[in-house]
Amino acid sequence: THRRTHNHRLRREVYENYPSTRRVTHPSVLDFVDELVKAGSKPKKILKYLQETTGKRVILRDMHNLVHRLKVKRRGTGAVEERLEAVLRKFCASRGNNASIFMDETKTTQTITMQTRQMGRFFEAFPEVVMLDSTHGTNSSKYKLFSFMIDDAFGHGQYVQHALVENESHACMMNAIGAFKKKNPTSDRIRAIMIDKDFGEMSLLKRSFH
């Protein structure tokens, strides 16, 4: 007879590193990643989001494979507004996630903000120092990805809000900052903000976080 048994203990660490275990399948996570890709987000930023949101040991190769699958699957039909609404509805359906859309006087979307439940928890735990990070001109729609970050107890940067902005105008920055303050009551505990030397709305930051 042939007996099929393991001749070694299956350690948790080994199991968590299996490709099938690392695979990301949650619809709202996939939709959000698809939007990050279209916004021109950096690979490491997407990888960090996947690791934080899923708790899985996603590696860079997994992320590249996922992005490739999303690009292949992406539909070329349907109005952009309809697809955006569907994506944000799925995103907000997950407990603790929230998103906001801001439009200008012509009803054109100028700012979209997104924060996961885990992002909110990170900021609540470490609100003293906030860093602003932006990605410029890397997507066909020319929207910019404007992100809020903090450092956790281990000195690792963690994203606490993403905002897709039409540009870095006063109005778009007010949208992003206003949404952040509204969703995060502990923003009054911010003591320092680190920004890129090219950031042009210094006065707005001073008024918003005085």
Q: Given pLDDT bands bounded at 50, 70 and 90, which one contains residue 9?
A: low
β-strand pairing of 129-135 with 192-194: parallel
pLDDT tens string 115-156:
999 999 999 999 999 999 887 655 556 678 889 999 998 989
Q: Is pTM beyond 0.85 here?
A: no
> What's the per-residue H, E or C state across the chain?
CCCCCCCCCCCHHHHHCCHHHHCCCCHHHHHHHHHHHHCCCCHHHHHHHHHHHHCCCCCHHHHHHHHHHHHHHCCCCCCHHHHHHHHHHHHHHCCCCEEEEEECCCCCEEEEEEECHHHHHHHHHCCCEEEEEEECCCCCCCCEEEEEEEECCCCCEEEEEEEEECCCCHHHHHHHHHHHHHHCHHHHHCCEEECCCCCCCHHHHHHHCC
Q: Given pLDDT bands bounded at 50, 70 and 90, which one contains residue 85?
A: confident
**Cα 62 from Cα 17, distance rounded (Å):** 11
**Cα 23 from Cα 56, distance rounded (Å):** 8
**Cα 45 from Cα 50, distance rounded (Å):** 9
Residue 209 has a pLDDT of 83
pLDDT tens string 29-55:
888 888 888 888 888 889 988 988 888
Higher pLDDT, 16 or 124: 124
Residue 8 has a pLDDT of 53
Rounded-to-5 percentages of helix, strand, coil across the chain:
45, 20, 35
Q: Where are the domains of the chain?
A: 12-73, 96-208
